[in-house]
Amino acid sequence: MSTDVAFLAEFADGAPARSALELAAGAAELAGQSGGAAVALAYGPGADAGAAGLGAAGAVRAVVLGSGGGPAIGHAAALAAAVGQVEPLAVLAPATPNGRDLAAALVGLLGVPAFGPVRAVEVADGRIRSEQATLQGSVITVSEPAEGAPSPSIVLVLANTFTPVEGGSGDAEVSEAPSSDAGAFGRARIAESHPAEAAVVNLEEASVIVAGGRGVGSEEGFAPLQDLAAALGGAVGASRAAADAGWIAYQLQIGQTGKVVKPALYIACGISGAIQHRVGMQTAEHVVAINKDPDAPIGEFADLFVVGDLFQIVPKLTQEIKRRKA
C-alpha cells in the first residue's frame, strides 16, 4: 500500500465535473496528511484530453480509465485495475449515482471497507478516519477500517464538502489504466438517451437553493421561486410531491430518492418537511422555511421558520433583496 489518496474524476462533454474538482482538493488535503500524492482516476468523455488539467485542481498524477460514453459502471473493471496498480490508502468517490455505483463495484470486486457519505474525513495513524451522520442524522459516528481490513478505504463524499482549489496551475502526470476486460459491468449499455429540451442546473453545485413543495400548487407557482433564486444567485429545487405532480423536472428533486444537497442557504417554500425530504437537505448550513401551516414539521428543524403565504412573501422578498443589492 502507498500513502497516496486517489479520487474519482468524472468527465462529461470534455470537462471535469464539479465533483472532480472538489474531490481533487479533498484528496490533496488528505494526501498532505498521509505524506502521499493525490491521484485522479479519470473517466468519461474527454477524460483522456482533460486528465492532465486536474493538476491545477490538486492532482499530482492522473490515471485514465476510459473516455467512452455509456454507463459509468462500465469503467469499473478499469478502475479496479488502476487501484491495484496505484495501491492508494483511500479512494474518494462522489456521493452521486455514478460515483456510488463505481464505489460499490470496488467494494465488491476488491473486498474493501466503505465509509460515508462523510461529513468530515482525515488520515489518522496512517489510516482513514471518517465522521458521518447515521440513522437520519440522529447519531454521529466516527469510523475507521477494522483491524486487518484491506486497503484502500472507499470514502463517499457529498458535494460541497471540499472547496475546489482556485488559481492552481501545473499538469498532472497522465497514464492509462492497465488493460482489463470490462466483464459483466460492461454488458449494460445505454439503449436510448433522452435529453431534456431545456438544460437543467446541477443542484448539487448550487450554494443557494430555493425549493418548492406541494404548497407551490402548480408549475406556474414556481415562477416567483425562480425570481427569488435568480436574485440570490441560486437555483430552484423541489420536494418529491412537486416533482411527482409534474411541476418541475425530476433532476431538481431533493430528498431521499432525489439529490442530496449541501448549500450555504436553503429556502424551503411550501414544503412540509417530511423525513424523506429532510435527508436530502439536512446538511444545508442555513435553512429558512416559509409555510402557511404553523405545525409543518419543517418548523422543527429550520433555522428560521416564517408562518405565512409564500405567494405574498416570496415576490416581496425578491424585491427587497434586489433593492438592497442595488
Q: Which residues, numbered 206-245, are part of the site for another protein (CB under 8 A)?
A: 208, 232, 240, 244
Residue 260's nearest CA partner among 140, 142, 136, 141 is: 136
60 Ramachandran zone, left/alpha/beta (phi>0; psi -120 to 50) = alpha
Among 176, 219, 293, 309, binds another protein (CB under 8 A): 309
Nearest to 144 by CA among 118, 108, 109, 105: 118
Which of these segments, 46-54, 59-67, 83-91, 257-265, binds another protein (CB under 8 A)? 257-265
How many chain residues touch another protein (CB under 8 A)? 93
The region that residue 172 occupies, defined by phi over 0 for left and psi between -120 and 50 for alpha, beta otherwise, is beta
As a whole number of angstroms, the distance between CA 108 and CA 119 comes to: 24
Shortest gap between Cβ of 168 and another protein (angstroms)? 25
Rule CB under 8 A: is residue 137 a binding residue for another protein? Answer: yes
Output the smallest distance, CB 271 to another protein, in A: 15
Least CB distance from residue 324 to another protein, whole Å? 6
Task: Give whichever of 44 and 55 is closer to another protein, judged by the CB atom.
Answer: 44
The interface with another protein within residues 266-305 (CB under 8 A) comprises: 279, 286, 288, 290, 294, 299-305
Restricting to residues 9-38, name those near another protein by CB under 8 A: 12
Please tell me whether residue 251 binds another protein under the rule CB under 8 A: yes
Which residue stretch of 18-26, 39-47, 51-59, 181-189 sits at the interface with another protein (rule: CB under 8 A)?
181-189
Rounded (10°) CA dihedral 139, 145, 149, 153? 100
The dihedrals phi and psi of 323, each to the nearest 5 degrees, come to: -65, -40
Measure the CA–CA gap between 183 and 44, rounded to whole angstroms: 18
Residue 298: closest CA among 307, 326, 120:
307
Give the one residue of 144, 171, 173, 205 binding another protein; rule: CB under 8 A. Answer: 144
Under the binding rule (CB under 8 A), the answer on residue 181 touching another protein is no
Q: Which of residues 48-107 bind another protein (CB under 8 A)?
A: 71, 73, 76, 97, 100-107
Which amino acid does the sequence have at 173? E
Q: How many residues does the chain have?
A: 326
Closest CA relative to residue 27, chosen from 17, 18, 36: 36
Shorter beta-carbon distance to another protein: residue 143 or 161 = 143
Is residue 167 at the binding interface for another protein, with CB under 8 A as the rule?
Answer: no
Given 11, 43, 115, 162, the residue binding another protein (CB under 8 A): 115
